[in-house]
Structure 1
Amino acid sequence: MTLLMPTCAEVVDLLTDYEEGVLGPFHWLGVKLHLSLCPPCRAFLDSFERTPDLLRRLWPEPPAPSAERALDGALTALRQGRVPRGPVHHPEEGAWQALEPGGDPLTALLLKVHLGHCDSCRSQHPASEAIPAAGPSGRDALSLLRPHLPAEDGWRWTRLGLGGAQVARLLKDPATGATLNLARMPGGMSMPRHSHGGAELSLVLAGAMQDGPAHLRPGDWLACGPGQQHGPSTEPGLECWALLRIEGGIRFTGWRRVLGTVG
């Protein structure tokens, strides 16, 4: 890529973000300039834009929302050079070190909640550490979590740019800068697409969440790497609550980028 002109290969890699309107001004200008001078890339863009209509003709029945979300997550992973692994609902082996003396306290709390829901993990890890599973609502889950959290009047709730969701920061680890957050999301909503400056760990407390190919229910665990983009969505009619360990704050894509790093 020259100062302003991307190569044909780079334009192909950028076309999806170009069509979705999430390119930064520098890359957007480069793609526009390249397309104005390159007939083969304009032809490729034309076929790229016609593909959805052709697919609708082949499959006139609309896909289920969960299938669309799973496909979107898989395509995002491919665009980022990652091979989708499919659902991962249990902590990675290295995460369990947080339960050892001196381990990360925020990760340890998520592990204890997971142990309260997961028989197979309790058979391999200290069952005495488990926080028992509660009833079906988020309030039920919070009733058992409260002894492990600061007083509720100290929680800082925010809605900024979250599309109807609320997120409260509960704790911040001064050693790592990571934060423990409680997310409360109405049913049938999608979080705006975003990434994080560091790793994110998600654990569902109540309801259900679709995050790419992973369908998560109470006790299910999902890890996202630094810079990985995603936009979880919730099932219609089911309010979803989740605990999130976040490093580096939230960075939105699209127009919400003007908000900067949130959290």
Structure 2
Amino acid sequence: MSPTEFRSRIAQLTAQLAGRPLDTTLDTWLNAEHGAGSPTYQQLKDACQAGVAEGWLCNREGGGIRYGRIFKPADDLHGFSVDVVDMQDIAGPHHTHPNGEIDLIMPLEGEAQFDGRPAGWLVCPPGSAHRPTVSNGRALVLYLLPEGRIDFTR
């Protein structure tokens, strides 16, 4: 897996997300069409694990969290940026999502959950805020941010 191949896989997904509201309808659709156990989910999880192992994903560390923005928002990604974090039984820094956030939760160890959700997708609507938390194990979480917008709380 290369970053170029990874980008292509993400672009195929974001093409299906372009222009859709970030809401519970999208959350339900993503989990039904691309949720845990689906080919899309497994391909993205395998790609993220390969990227971490090869060092081009989650190549920074701070506060016990490995993280990194692999792609800035771009036309081929339909305006989304792409970040991946590697977290184990930890809460990250509080932030808001001015334009919303789409998260792919990929447990690696234990019965890991992200913000109380198991493997699959979590859609946070525009204006939402949280302290991203992985509990009950270790997980990779892929973040799709419209226009790359995220505001960390001071």
Of 181, 194, 198 in structure 1, the residue corresponding to residue 99 of structure 2 is 198
Q: Any conservation in 2 of the 1:200–1:224 contact (CA below 8 Å)?
A: yes
Matches within 5 A, 1:182-261: 182-187=84-89, 189-206=90-107, 207-210=112-115, 215-219=116-120, 221-236=121-136, 238-247=137-146, 248-254=148-154
- Match of 1:131? 40
RMSD: 3.8
| Alpha-carbon separation, structure 1, partners of 2:60 and 2:47 | 21
Q: Any conservation in 2 of the 1:194–1:252 contact (CA below 8 Å)?
A: yes
Match of 1:145, SS? Answer: helix
Q: Any conservation in 1 of the 2:57–2:67 contact (CA below 8 Å)?
A: no
| Alpha-carbon separation, structure 1, partners of 2:54 and 2:17 | 22
* Percent of pairs with identical residues: 24
Q: TM-score, normalised by structure 1?
A: 0.38
Whichever structure has more helix as a proportion of its residues is 1
| Alpha-carbon separation, structure 1, partners of 2:94 and 2:130 | 5
Whichever structure has more strand as a proportion of its residues is 2
Matches within 5 A, 1:169-188: 169-175=69-75, 176-187=78-89
Please report how far the alpha carbon of residue 177 of structure 1 lies from its aligned counterpart in structure 2 after TM superposition: 3.9
Matches within 5 A, 1:108-147: 111=30, 115=34, 117=36, 130-131=39-40, 133=42, 142=45, 144-145=46-47
User: In structure 2, do the counterparts of structure 1 residues 198 and 152 end up closer, same or farther at CA, with 3 Å as the change threshold?
Assistant: farther
Gaps of 5+ in 2: 1-11, 21-29
- Supply the AA of the counterpart residue of 1:229: A
Q: Which structure has the greater CA radius of gyration?
A: 1
Gaps of 5+ in 1: 1-97, 119-126, 135-140, 255-263
Match of 1:192, SS? Answer: coil
| Alpha-carbon separation, structure 2, partners of 1:200 and 1:154 | 22
User: In structure 2, do the counterparts of structure 1 residues 99 and 246 end up closer, same or farther at CA, with 3 Å as the change threshold?
Assistant: closer
Please report how far the alpha carbon of residue 155 of structure 1 lies from its aligned counterpart in structure 2 after TM superposition: 3.8
| Alpha-carbon separation, structure 1, partners of 2:54 and 2:71 | 11
| Alpha-carbon separation, structure 1, partners of 2:133 and 2:58 | 23
Match of 1:216, SS? Answer: coil
C-alpha distance after superposition, 1:24-61 (max 9, x if no partner): xxxxxxxxxxxxxxxxxxxxxxxxxxxxxxxxxxxxxx
